[in-house]
Structure formats: C-alpha cells, structure tokens
Amino acid sequence: MKLYKVKKSNIDRNGRGLYATKDIKEGTRIIDYVGKIITKKQSDESEKFDNSKPIYLFNLNSRYDLDGDFSWNTAKLINHSCENCCDYEGQGLKLFVVAIKDIKKGEELTCDYGFGFDSEKKSDTFFKKFPCRCGSKNCCGYIVRAESRWRINKRFSLSVKN
Ligand SMILES: [Zn+2]
C-alpha cells in the first residue's frame, strides 16, 4: 500500500496535493522524486526554466540537474509549506521525499521548496512571484528559507535579477 494518495489540496486551492494514507514515522522514505537528468548546460539553455518553472529543477551535483516537471512525477504535486513535514533527500543521482517528523494519517504532505534568500541574493520581485498560502502560524508569506541542501540551481537566480 502506498503511503500517499493524490487529492484536491487544502494549500493550493486550484491544484492537487499528496495526503498520508496512514501514520508515517519520521525518517520514512515516502516517494521518489523522479524526472529527467539533464546537464547544467541543458538547464542553462532551456527556456523551460523561466520564472514559472524553477521549483521543479533540482541541483544534483556539479554536472547534473534533475528536471522533475513531468506529469508522471507524482512527487511534484507535493505543495510547499512553511511548516513542512517532509524534505527532499538525495543519494547519488536519486532524489526522494522523506518524512522529517511523524505524520498523521490524512495530513497533507508538504515540503520546503527552499528558495534560499540571502545565499542566492534574489530580489524582492523574485519572491513576490512565489507567494505562500500554506496557512501555518509561522508563514512568512513567501516561499523562502535560509538554507537548503537541495535548493534551486544557483545559476537560475542569476537570470532573474530585476
Ligand atoms: Zn507559508
């Protein structure tokens, strides 16, 4: 039995999200984040990763990125929350979603999309394109955090200076 199911999201009112189908213990690997492995050169040159798609591009290592923007990547439906219960973890060129706290059955699975603020020197204009409506008490209003291991490709941030 899968640990998750897809249904209409409480966070993204126009979209879907993933929900726990049973209680999940901290540290459990919930779902693989799958996509196509592309070279840095390919992600640099692709027009796909304009301002609307950066959240699906992961930095795997110094040579490769993972493009997760495919309908068969169910993990991409996981929404961002400032009080996230899951996080992305990597091993080699593989990426998966892991519970970072105990999750109750029926809870929406959430990750921190991890736009680093100070480390990547993104402008306010950039963040305004990514408002957060997660509804948690500590919500800062935007999809940001100070540090993230699997954060958005750094070179992307260079192209969104306004
Ligand atoms: Zn929030």
Q: pLDDT, tens digit, for every residue of 43-88?
A: 878 877 665 566 688 888 889 988 898 999 999 999 988 889 998 8
d(CA 143, CA 80): 7
Q: What's the predicted TM-score (pTM) here?
A: 0.79
Q: What is the CA(54)–ligand 1 centre distance, in A?
A: 18
d(CA 160, CA 126): 7
Q: What is the CA(142)–ligand 1 centre distance, in A?
A: 6
Q: What is the CA(114)–ligand 1 centre distance, in A?
A: 12
